[in-house]
Amino acid sequence: MATYENLLLNIQDGILTITINRADKMNALNIDTVREIKAAMQQVYDDASIKGVIITGAGAKAFVAGADIAEIAELSEVNARNFAERGQDVFSMIEHCNKPVIAAVNGFALGGGCELAMACHMRVATTNAKFGQPEVNLGLIPGYGGTQRLPLLIGRGKALEMMMTGDMISADEAKALGLVNHVVAPEELFSTCETILQKIMGKAPLAIGLVIECVNAVFDKEENGFQTEANSFARCCASEDFVEGTNAFLEKRKPAFKGL
């Protein structure tokens, strides 16, 4: 497994944990860190031994407290567009990964950190976590997909309020709004994420990947989500896992899926 300057990677029992390791900077996303997240996600795509992913931040204070303001302050209109598009591409890799990705939010998830968490398929937060898109305080807007994903997760009105006021919300409020799946004590964060992933990893891998693809199609204006679902249903019915799953059900035994 490759080595990184700003990430720590650990794989155990098929679960890859990606830790953004810039605790002294509240795990802020600089350009190099975003580039490394892309490389780490490419490993997820390429390595069949990786079945699920947890993304988290180092230390107890922050998941990711935003982007690197020193870098942002130097942006011009031209390179700012490239800056945003590069980040959007990396977060799209996470969103469209055919293996489950959970954000383990262990503190502040602000700006790019909130956007990173939203790109993951699910979010588990500690009781002390805080979420927000405070870019307007810098004369900016979210640039890594926040204006698109936040309304889909919590609704247009509340998303506009959060992005226009820059206010943070608590983990409990985030859960009530649908931004977070679970709120747990800090010491339960990783065991909760691992339990969810282990349950998913016991299901048919092809079906799991196609669930992700179909759900993403809901939000793709150029794609007919119902047709994507029908096509994906047909693909499942042509798979060995479908035969195994139905036979196991009829024979009252646990299926042994192979992802084929």
Q: What is the pLDDT of residue 122?
A: 98
Is residue 223 part of the annotated active site? The answer reads no
42-77 pLDDT per residue, tens = 999 999 999 999 999 999 899 999 888 888 888 888
Name the burial class of residue 224, with classes exposed (0-12), middle (13-18) and buried (19+) by CB atoms within 10 angstroms of its CB: exposed
Instruction: Count the neighbouring beta carbons within 10 Å of the beta carbon of residue 103.
Output: 29
Q: What is the pLDDT of residue 259?
A: 80
Catalytic residue among 36, 95, 115, 194: 115
Q: Are 113 and 69 in contact (CB under 8 A)?
A: no
Arithmetic mean of pLDDT over the chain: 94
Q: Any idea what DSSP says for residue 6?
A: S
State mean pLDDT over 220-235: 86
- Name the band, by pLDDT with cuts 50, 70 and 90, for residue 94: very high
* pLDDT at position 222 over 80: no
Rounded percentage of the chain residues whose pLDDT exceeds 70 = 100
123-163 pLDDT per residue, tens = 999 999 999 999 999 999 999 999 999 999 999 999 999 99
172-199 pLDDT per residue, tens = 999 999 999 999 999 999 999 999 999 9
- Name the band, by pLDDT with cuts 50, 70 and 90, for residue 9: very high
Rounded to an integer, what distance in angstroms lies between the CA atom of residue 150 and that of residue 260? 35
Q: Are 69 and 137 in contact (CB under 8 A)?
A: no
Catalytic residue among 95, 135, 194, 213: 135
Is residue 135 part of the annotated active site? The answer reads yes
Beta strands in the chain (DSSP E): 7-12, 15-20, 52-57, 62-64, 101-105, 108-110, 122-126, 130-132, 169-170, 182-184
Q: What is the pLDDT of residue 1?
A: 62
